[in-house]
Amino acid sequence: MNQDRMGWLVGLYLALAPLAASAAAEPPAGGDKPAARSEPFKAESTSSNGTVTVGGRKIAYEAVAGTLVVHPKDWDDVPHDAAADAHAKDAGEEAKNPTAVASMFYVAYFKSGGGVRPVTFIYNGGPGSATLWLHMGAFGPRRVVTASDTHTPAAPYQIAENPYSLLDASDLVFIDAPGTGFSRVAGKDKEKAFFGIDPDAHAFAEFISQFLTKYGRWNSPKYLFGESYGTTRSAVLINELENERAIDFNGVMLLSQILSFDLSADSPVRNPGIDMPYETVLPTYAATAWYHHKLPGGHADLKAFLAEVEGFAMGEYAQALAAGSELDPARREAIAQKLHDYTGLPVDYIRKADLRIDGGEFRQTLQIADDLATGRLDSRFSGPTLDPLSQRAEYDPQASALASAYVSAFNDYARKDLHFAAQEAFKPSIPLYMTWDASHRQPGQPAGVRSGRQGANVMPDLANAMKRNPNLKVQLNYGYFDLATPFYQGIYEMHHLPMPASLQKNIEYRAYESGHMVYAVESALAELHRNAVEFIDKTSNLPK
């Protein structure tokens, strides 16, 4: 993996890092039938019941916590000799059938007596993150209560009924990626089989196909909801579902989007000559400086202020950066002063940075006079700087502020309420930044040809799915204070999808005064719930 790819993966992982019993297959009856394949996992589930009140209406539901077994794309499903595998194991030898396999954990919520209802598949990102964040913070029937922009005090944490659960509009399926949460991987080359852009999306496609069959939901309106790297996954996944499996979805909801990693503000210095990351992150710098009262001028209307900054970023600023070493000194000085006005950073610092400040530098510098580092996932958060002399911030205050509450709450809820995996270890995140395969085969590329000389870019995948299914609707949700996936980056990506301009009407945009985890602010969660319900209601094709 080259340094550029490692850079964005380390960035995504560091923001989230703080934050199956074996069953051998029985040989089949009948001597003429081939032996069953030996598997280290088996599908299992537990059920429970509950109620949640949303919008003043009590909703009774069944909760199913379980696992489904999925295989990689090149899996050979010809049966193997389970008895031979067992004999090899007893002899201390490698099993004859060490094919990679994953057990994917999920929690599904079905409204009781709901009839034909939409079903929404929900997941976080990382890559390497379990889906406890969206589950316990946004749309599940129970929610952990956390502080809005400060460190949440230690346990006991409050787990409350969630009045913003999406169960009022759709049945819900929260999915842990292979290796995360209660999901597990096994077999030969299991990392290669599941830890990469394309194999990860294939595993989710396999899971969804099996789920639709197991629970008889093939004729339900269907939705994807992904956050952060989950939006990357969604683009590749929806393309596979639409084109390789002929499963039309009604809609895709994206939260805190990143589709083109060349636009990431984490390490653009490793990609000189590509200045777009500095331009698309500037509105988030401005929003952050506004929130912390670091701007030299007053701006009462945040949205109007950000529109002004967006115009500068894509106009004067973009032209100045494009000039490179040929930029006139007087013009350079004027741009530096303007950047000071929009970011609150010292003019001298901006000069030394050659007008180009990456996310880590901004977070370290904005509040350094107060000995504070600024949050990455949510720049409203601040925490003591670990090293005042460091060039970049070395941790994320928001991740540190919330991780314990979410991890503790989900472990308690899964074991006591869902009655699942009492003795299993729950893995909120796994370190994939050294093993993740960031190469990607874009739609139309021949087999064996993958994007590998630049950052991963899955914009063509989402565009291809929308062209193949021109009824597919997309909702982009973003927080103004998100420095992990800056909001204007997502807008820029959507405006540059390689598809007919007529399909742009299928995309809607929803902004929130929050960060990467929009739902961490209760008022923003209320808006997110309202927008998601509205999106599902108008795209489900169900009778009104």
Same domain for 129 and 167, yes or no, is yes
Rounded Cα distance between 411 and 403, Å, is 12
Please indicate, yes or no, whether residues 409 and 438 belong to a single structural domain of this protein. Answer: yes
Q: Where does 10-56 show beta strands of DSSP type E?
A: 44-54
Q: Which residue's structure tokens are 């139309």?
A: 444
pLDDT at position 21 is 32
pLDDT at 85: 53
- The CB density around residue 29, as the number of other CB atoms within 10 Å, is 6
Last residue of a domain, one of 398, 432, 458: 398
| 188 and 307 both lie in a single domain | no
Q: How far apart are CA 394 and CA 360, in angstroms?
A: 8
Whether residue 231 is contained in a domain is answered as: yes
Query: How crowded is residue 369: how many other Cβ atoms within 10 Å of its Cβ?
Result: 9
Q: Do 95 and 215 share a structural domain?
A: yes
Partners of 58 in beta bridges = 53
Indicate the pTM of the whole model.
Answer: 0.88
Give the end of a domain, one of 398, 416, 431. Answer: 398
What's the confidence (pLDDT) of residue 154? 84
* Same domain flag for 106 and 232: yes
Domain shared by 242 and 103, yes or no: yes
| 175 is a domain residue | yes
Amino acid (one-letter) located at 83: A
Distance CA 11, CA 121 (A): 26
Q: What DSSP element (H or E) covers 280?
A: helix 276-291
Co-location of 165 and 180 in the same domain: yes
Q: How do the pLDDT tens digits run along the chain, 544 residues long? A: 433 443 444 444 434 444 433 333 333 333 343 334 567 889 999 999 999 999 999 999 999 999 999 999 877 654 444 555 555 555 555 544 468 999 999 999 999 987 899 999 999 999 999 999 999 999 999 999 887 777 778 878 888 999 999 999 999 999 999 999 999 999 988 999 999 999 999 999 999 999 999 999 999 999 999 999 999 999 999 999 999 999 999 999 999 999 999 999 988 888 889 999 999 999 999 999 999 999 998 899 999 999 999 999 999 999 999 999 999 999 999 999 999 999 999 999 999 999 999 999 999 999 999 999 999 999 998 888 878 878 887 656 667 778 889 999 999 999 999 999 778 899 999 998 778 988 888 887 776 655 544 689 999 999 999 999 999 999 999 999 999 999 999 999 999 999 999 999 999 999 999 999 999 999 999 999 999 999 999 999 999 8
Residue 544 is assigned to a structural domain of this protein: no
Residues in CB range of 183: below 8 A, 6 or more apart: 67, 102, 103, 104, 105, 130, 176, 177
Predicted pLDDT at 73: 87
Q: Both 77 and 153 in a single domain?
A: yes
Show the DSSP H helices in 313-389 as ranges. Answer: 318-323, 329-343, 347-352, 359-365
Task: Classify residue 163 by burial, with Cβ atoms within 10 Å: 0-12, 13-18, 19+.
Answer: middle
Q: Is residue 508 part of a domain?
A: yes
Q: Write down the residue that tokens 């940075």 correspond to.
A: 353
- Do residue 331 and residue 258 come from a single domain? no
Instruction: Kindly state whether residues 255 and 327 are assigned to the same domain.
Output: no
Instruction: Report how far apart the first and last C-alpha atoms of the chain are (Å, whole number).
Output: 51
Rounded-to-integer distance, Cα 231 and Cα 228, Å? 5
Number of domains in the chain: 2
354 alpha-carbon distance from chain centroid: 32
177 and 134, same domain (yes or no): yes
Give the separation between CA 255 and CA 278, rounded to whole angstroms.
Answer: 21
CB 457 within 8 A of CB 445: no
For residue 101, give the CATH number of its domain: 3.40.50.1820
Q: Are residues 416 and 481 in the same domain?
A: yes
The token duo for 182 is 């209660």
The domain boundary residue, chosen from 336, 363, 398? 398
Which residue pairs, CB below 8 angstroms and at least 24 apart, start in 431-434? 431/13, 431/17, 431/128, 432/9, 432/13, 432/126, 432/127, 432/128, 432/179, 432/195, 433/6, 433/9, 433/10, 433/12, 433/13, 433/128, 434/1, 434/6
Q: Does any domain span residue 535?
A: yes
Question: What SS3 class is residue 386?
Answer: coil
Q: E strands within 1-151?
A: 44-54, 57-70, 101-111, 119-123, 142-144
Q: Which domain does 84 fall in, by range? A: 3-262+403-443+450-539
| Residue 477, SS3 per DSSP | strand
Residue whose structure tokens are 């290669």 = 192
Structure-token match 């709901």, residue found: 114
55 lies in a domain?
A: yes
